[in-house]
A and B are shown apart, each in its own frame.
Chain A
Amino acid sequence: MPRETFDRELQRLQDELLILGSMVESAIAESVDALKRRDFEASQRIIAQDRDINTRRFAIESDVLVLIATQQPMASDLRTLAAILDLASELERMGDYAKGIARINLMIGDQPLMKPLIDIPRMAERACSMLHRALDAFARRDVALARAIPAEDDEVDALYNQVYRELVTYILSDPKNIDQANYLLWAAHNLERAADRVTNICERVIFTVTGELGELNREGNGLEDLPG
């Protein structure tokens, strides 16, 4: 093969991206698990690990730019590198959502949870599963899978709406619940946003393979602009 060095480097960057993806996936799952178990140490660990995620994202970005500058990639190689840049940034933001949830656990402090967490862990599970398969679709260049995953975002949105309604009833029943309900809503919102970002990843997978740029499943639930 005339481009062995380039191919090796391109493969290495994809591997790095997948490692970043699995770190983010774990961070999301563990952040919700720590919240559920009220495990402050685990939350602090997740906050610390977010720095690694950020460092890796910048390393990937820097290596992609070097590869573009030195190897002048074209066509699918260029699209792959553009996608890696974009995916690294999406993943890093998803890592921030996990860190946000870890912080929420610390902010809730010693108060017992007003209710056992059921739907929020379900949201995390759905979001992580979507992320896992989206990265799998990227690694295998599986356009059909990338097109199928965003529909699952509706389930995450439905869970989010359910959490929202439930927390509102808690607030209405006792205003003392406002602070904690707000924190939990924030956590749920982060998960809802994380799932949205999986849709962005799927769009990039399709772009990488076909060169088509387009939006998938953008109806949303109308709550995307809440602060989070």
Chain B
Amino acid sequence: MNETKIRVEHLNFYYGNKIALSDISMVIPDRQITALIGPSGCGKSTFLRCLNRMNDTIPRTRVEGKVLLDGVDIYAPGTDVVELRRRVGMVFQRPNPFPQSVYDNVAFGPRVLGLHRQQNLDEIVERSLRDVGLWDEVKDNLRQNALNLSLGQQQRLCLARVIAVQPEVILMDEPCSALDPIATLEIEELMRSLRQNYCIVIVTHNMQQAARVSEWTGFFWLGELVEFGPTEVIFTHPAHQLTEDYITGRAG
């Protein structure tokens, strides 16, 4: 396992009185891809959103336990949540570009955070678009509306928007579920090249996708982390019967 990027210790999460995550402990390595799998409602997306405090925006929710990013608890009082979300970026299920130009979408984060005062904005935009393999497709018309791009391109644009603010961790919540198979494989290839520089955590319903892209896999069931281990072990001989039943399609 690579160096630890995120260490989760005894995490509980509640929606009102209902417990959604129960005693989750996990070590997420840097510069590798960790996949979270499990049936709908098992808590995997809730867990993902705990990693950059996206759940804070949902009323009547509560967190117990620790999420240590480079050893520092992100739930400690005084945490700068905006800075946290810059360091831990997120890509969602459906591509959600702003109804603005391609350029402005990528430049949005750097402008808000003031990065453009230290670095050339054009360079940030170009580098980010190159990193997601979109530059050659859009360089001749950076002013076109982002909503004119195909869904696959839009999703890569959203990834470029995350990368533009130079994060350390990229969270992906079902990033390919709205995409066709070719666009899906493009995003997967992209993930494999991006992991050289980022810690990537992906939630997916598609077990073949988890098996294809990740080094580590965690299986969630009813708000608990049943099993966490190397992907090739989880998909060839998991330790727990429940994991076996889920990945062979006999439970869930």
Contact = CB atoms under 8 A, between A and B. Distances in A.
Given A72-B208, A74-B207, A211 B248 contact: no
Contacts of A3: 248-250
Contacts of A211: 236-237
Interface in B101-140: none
Contacts of A73: 248
30 contacts: A1-B250, A2-B249, A2-B250, A3-B248, A3-B250, A6-B249, A72-B207, A72-B208, A73-B248, A74-B211, A74-B236, A74-B247, A74-B248, A74-B249, A75-B235, A75-B237, A75-B238, A75-B243, A75-B244, A75-B247, A75-B248, A76-B237, A76-B244, A77-B248, A78-B236, A79-B236, A79-B237, A210-B237, A211-B236, A211-B237
A143 to B, nearest CB: 13
Contacts of B211: 74
A6 B249 CA distance: 10
A74 B235 contact: yes
A25 to B, nearest CB: 30
B37 to A, nearest CB: 11
Nearest to A210: B237
Contacts of A1: 250
A76 B236 CA distance: 7
Contacts of A72: 207-208
Contacts, number: 36
Contacts of B238: 75
Given A74-B247, A75-B243, A76-B248, 13 more contacts: A2-B250, A72-B208, A74-B207, A74-B211, A74-B235, A74-B236, A74-B248, A74-B249, A75-B236, A75-B244, A75-B248, A77-B248, A211-B237
Interface string B215-246: 00000000000000000000111100001100
A130 to B, nearest CB: 26
Contacts of B244: 75-76
A211 B233 CA distance: 9
Interface residues of A, number: 14
Contacts of B243: 75
A73 B236 CA distance: 10
A125 B38 CA distance: 50
B211 to A, nearest CB: 8
Contacts of B235: 74-75, 78
A123 B208 CA distance: 47
Nearest to A212: B237
A115 to B, nearest CB: 51
Interface string A1-37: 1110010000000000000000000000000000000
Contacts of A76: 237, 244, 248
B38 to A, nearest CB: 14
Contacts of A75: 235-238, 243-244, 247-248
B252 to A, nearest CB: 8
A126 to B, nearest CB: 32
The 6 closest A-B CB pairs, nearest first, are: A211-B237, A74-B247, A3-B249, A77-B248, A75-B244, A74-B235
A1 B245 CA distance: 11
Contacts of A77: 248
B104 to A, nearest CB: 41
